[in-house]
Each structure stands twice: as structure tokens, then as C-alpha cells.
Amino acid sequence: MNDEHFVYSLEELGSLTKTANGEVLTIITQKRERPHPATYIGKGKVDEVLNVVEELEPDIVIFNDELSPSQLRNLSTILNVRIIDRTQLILDIFAQRAKSKEGKLQVELAQLQYLLPRLVGQGISLSRQGGGIGTRGPGETQLETDRRHIRNRINEIKQQLSSVVRHRNRYRERRQKNQAFQLALVGYTNAGKSTIFNRLTTAGSFEEDLLFATLDPMTRKVLLPSSYQALITDTVGFIQDLPTTLVAAFRSTLEEVKEANLILHIVDSSNEDYANHEQTVYKLLDQLDVSEIPILTVYNKKDLTPASFVPSPMEDYVSISAFSEEDLEKLMKKVEELAKGGMNHYAVEIPANEGRVLSQLKSETLITSFHFSEEDEMYNVEGYVLPSHSINGQLEMYNGEGQEHV
């Protein structure tokens, strides 16, 4: 980690602490070639931290990395204060923010997977639902009982999660049958995804200047300039150095991204570390295997962007402020333009008595021209339709020549 990246990472840890309702009293850093295997920091630095702990009497000391079980145990013993690492802090925020059943289960699963190897010598005692006689095997220690309890709970959660995911898949299939154009908002945490989502849909998704403000995917309807109705999904924010257990646990909350026709990658262009944020998002998108889906980069907070800002070299991007109506209109025009690129163009003549077909065209396709000819009592309709939409067959009947793939 270079010095600049280290500074940004520490600032982010401060933001995470604020999000978890904590207050930063002081920051202590050390430059080492490699972490100390027993205490992560060197012996002299441990003594320095001990002096600060005795002076300031903090409730907690947070390390900006994932500590091994032995490092956590040794530091807790020496410093005689509660020690947590970056992973535990993120888990704590996730636990506060998760609202849906799936979100809560995912958080608990990640917490238990993190806790399991760290039980040794922690003196952690877990309450068991059974309790009392008959809950332990012959000669089983408290530690073994706790481990068994955690493993059982992990299995229970995995079963419940598969049921919740199946339920959401049914909703997703229903949406696909409705043949709607789907947008997914992705981006680094606190980039402004929920603000943009709210401005476009007036949905009231939780919106605050905090990291991980959104944890559960939310889907709402949004109107493009032509009045074509699309679906837009807000997703959990990405973060660099996300622990492996969390990437695995929260991948299912990002499954919605795989169903999108267009990904809107929201980047906070006012953040000095925006380039690293972009790379973090791209790495996670690669892991999700969504490279075939077109991406539009949306540089948000343009009113706060420094003069030194340079957009990353890419084909499609737009700079906006989420609070500017004009900018949001510009964004949706760009979205509509890209949507057309992935749809079939059609130009058909529909008889005036075909009300059902006309209604379906209005509600399920992107219409660019709609005129009634009194002379032959026909509607001349031109527009774009998703290639997979069932109405494509009917359109060919009305005008086989009028359809082409753009």
C-alpha cells in the first residue's frame, strides 16, 4: 500500500467509525515492512498504544486491517481494552443497516464465519436455545459446544438463505416475463447511488452521508424521457479491501446486477481517491461475471469536483450533480440513447381497432413516433423493443419489413 493510498484508507476508517456511531479520539500509525506475527504492530508501538489507552481511556481500539485470531487475543490481553479490526467494524455497520430478511441473514452468516476461528481463548460464551442438561455431548468443553452451536447456526442460515433467494428469483423471473428494461446502480459506498435513485424514482430509499447507507437491493419504476417505463435497482456500496467472507456473503445481494440491461456506475468525482474506488468496483463486477452488460459511468457531485479531476479513459460517461434537475434529465437522455442501442428498432402500421396491441406498444416499448392517419385509419408507430420481448412476433405480422436490429 503506497503512502497516499494509506492516508485515504485511514480517512475511510474514520468515516466507517462515524457511520458506526463512534468518535475518533486519536490516530496512531506505524510504517513496517510486514505486520508483526504476534501483535500486528511492533513492541515499541504496542507500548505507545498502551500509554494512549491509559491516558484517553477509549472504549475500543480499531485496527485498519484484518487481525489474525492470535493477534486479536494478544493485543486484547496486553492493552486490556476491546480490540476490533476493520472487518468487525464493517460487520457492525452491516448489522445496523440491514433491513430485509435476507440482509439480516447475510450479516449474521458473515459474523459467525468471522467469529468461528476467533473463539479460542476469547472467553466468548454463546447462549444456546436449549440450555441446561442435554445440550452437551459427553466430555464436551464449553469451547467445543460454542463451535458446534455456531456451525449448526451457519447451516440453518444457509438453508434459510437458499429459501429467500429462491423467493426473490421468482420475483425476478416475473419481472423478466414483464419484459422491462432494467438498470442497476452500482458504485463505491457513499458515491451518491441512493440520492440519484431517490431523485429519479421518488422512492425514499435511505439517503445520508454515511458509508453503507443502503444494504438491501431495492427496485422501483423509472420513466425515461420518451415515457418508456424501465426498472432501476439500488445496490449495496462497494468498498476496497472488503474481507473475503463479506464478498461471499453479500454477492447474492448483488445478483440483481446480473439481470440488468445497463449498469450505471456511480463515482464520487469529488473524492480524491476516486480512481481507486472505480478500480474496486470493476474488480467486484469482474467477480460477478457481468462483463457483457454495457456500463455508463456517472460522475456525481460535479459541483464539488476539484479542478484536478480527470475522467478515466472510457467510451461512455456523464458528469452530474444529483440535486440538479437539468443534470438528471441529461442522465436519463443518455440512458435512453444507450437503451435504444441494445433494442430492436421497429416501424409498423397498426389498425385503429387493435387497441390491445397499441396499448401494449405504449406500455412495453420505447416509442419515438406515434401518428394516426385518418385516410387509412391506421396508427403509424415507430420505436424500439427489447429483442427478447414476446411482442416481436406480432410486430412482424403488421410489418415484416419494418423491423431491424440496431
- Over range 371-377, report the average pLDDT: 89
Q: Is 193 annotated as a binding residue?
A: yes
The answer to whether 303 is annotated as binding is yes
For residue 2, say whether it is annotated as part of any ligand binding site. no
User: Is 237 known to sit in a ligand binding site?
Assistant: yes
User: Would you say residue 125 has pLDDT above 60?
Assistant: no
Lowest mean pLDDT among 110-114, 182-186, 265-269, 313-317: 313-317
Give yes or no for residue 405 having a pLDDT over 60: no
pLDDT computed for residue 380 by the predictor: 92
158 marked as part of a ligand binding site:
no
216 annotated ligand-binding residue: yes
The answer to the question of whether 192 is labelled as a binding residue is: yes
- As beta bridge partners, residue 222 has 230
The average pLDDT across 346-350 equals: 92
**Any known ligand binding at 214?**
yes
pLDDT value, residue 139: 52
The reply to whether the predicted model has a pTM over 0.85 is no
The stretch 101-128 carries a mean pLDDT of 73
Record the cell numbers describing residue 331, joined without a space: 442522465
**How confident is the prediction for the chain on average, in pLDDT?**
83
Closest to 211 (Cα-Cα) out of 286, 163, 263, 277: 277
The residue among 316, 323, 378, 376 whose CA lies nearest residue 348 is: 378
Residue 35 has pLDDT above 90, yes or no: yes
Mean pLDDT of 330-358: 92
Query: Which has more pLDDT, 287 or 250?
Result: 287
- On whether 190 is known to bind a ligand per the annotation, the reply is yes
Q: Is 212 annotated as a binding residue?
A: yes
What does the radius of gyration of the chain's CA atoms come to, in whole angstroms? 26
Q: What is the mean pLDDT of residues 47-64?
A: 94
Q: Which residue has the higher pLDDT, 260 or 175?
A: 260
Question: 300 among the known binding-site residues?
Answer: yes
Q: What is the pLDDT of residue 189?
A: 85
**Is it the case that residue 106 has pLDDT exceeding 70?**
yes
213 labeled part of a ligand binding site: yes
Q: What is the pLDDT of residue 156?
A: 94
187 is annotated as contributing to ligand binding: yes
Residue 195 counted as an annotated binding residue: no
193 dihedral zone (left: phi>0; alpha: psi -120 to 50; beta): alpha
What 3-state DSSP class applies to 222?
strand
CA dihedral of residues 154, 76, 27, 268 (deg, nearest 10): 0
Tell whether 63 is in a known binding site: no
Query: Any known ligand binding at 178?
Result: no
